[in-house]
């Protein structure tokens, strides 16, 4: 958990790519979702239900689930969406956009799963964190932490998108 905090603090958010990367890293860390589910997120999947923001994930096996968004994650995503200037775009447009090389400008196409994994590895290296960590490390840590805190197995199972508690 402390490594995730270190990683999030290490991202230079003085430009839209840094804001995007921090939002992606926080989404992975705080939702226990898979990198592939983050890559599939569309603008309409980040929505306010009137009391708080939710993220709707399309998981493997065609499953869909909604997860409430923590206030800090909400702030990270809103800061990115604002800087990217995409809030008024079509709801089916990608939430997390690929960047155009080193220009620090975003393209219209989505950031794919492989690029998200590369982004995590690059950001881990830049933060001086172990290279053995991966996007899946966030998932494992979140699930383990919730279970250690006494969160009911059914709730953790739903968050993780697992059909079986094993």
Per residue in 56-86, pLDDT tens? 998 777 778 898 999 999 999 999 999 999 9
The predicted pLDDT at position 12 comes to 95
The pLDDT of residue 16 is above 70:
yes
**156 in Cβ contact with 143 (< 8 Å):** yes
Q: Grade residue 145 by pLDDT with cuts at 50, 70 and 90.
A: confident
Nearest-10 Cα torsion for 18, 19, 20, 21: 50
- The answer to whether residues 35 and 135 touch, using CB atoms and an 8 Å cutoff, is yes
Number of helical H runs and strand E runs in the chain: 7, 5
Element (H, E) at 26: helix 16-31
Query: For the residues 144-159, what does the mean pLDDT come to?
Result: 86
Q: How far apart are CA 71 and CA 52, in angstroms?
A: 8
**Total Cβ atoms within 10 A of residue 63:** 11
Closest residue by Cα to residue 141 from 33, 10, 35, 12: 33
pLDDT of residue 75: 97
Burial class from Cβ neighbours inside 10 Å (0-12, 13-18, 19+) for residue 40 reads: buried
Give the model's pLDDT for residue 143. 87
pLDDT at residue 160 above 80?
A: no
Q: Rounded mean pLDDT of 11-28?
A: 96
Longest dimension (CA), the chain: 46
What's the pLDDT band for 43 if we cut at 50, 70, 90?
A: very high
Per-residue confidence (pLDDT) for residue 165, from 0 to 100: 67
Predicted model pTM: 0.90
């Amino acid at each position: 958990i402390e490594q995730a905090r270190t990683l999030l603090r290490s991202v230079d958010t003085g430009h839209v790519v840094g804001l995007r990367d921090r939002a992606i890293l926080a989404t992975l860390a705080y939702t226990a979702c898979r990198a592939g589910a983050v890559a599939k997120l569309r603008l309409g999947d980040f929505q306010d239900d009137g009391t708080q923001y939710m993220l709707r994930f399309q998981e493997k096996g065609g499953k869909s689930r909604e997860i409430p968004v923590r206030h800090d994650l909400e702030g990270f995503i809103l800061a990115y969406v604002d800087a990217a200037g995409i809030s008024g775009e079509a709801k089916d447009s990608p939430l997390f956009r690929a960047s155009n090389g080193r220009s620090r400008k975003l393209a219209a196409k989505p950031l794919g799963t492989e690029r998200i994994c590369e982004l995590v590895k690059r950001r881990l290296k830049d933060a001086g964190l172990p290279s053995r960590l991966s996007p899946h490390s966030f998932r494992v840590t979140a699930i383990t932490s919730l279970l250690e805190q006494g969160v009911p197995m059914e709730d953790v199972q739903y968050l993780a998108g697992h059909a079986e508690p094993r």
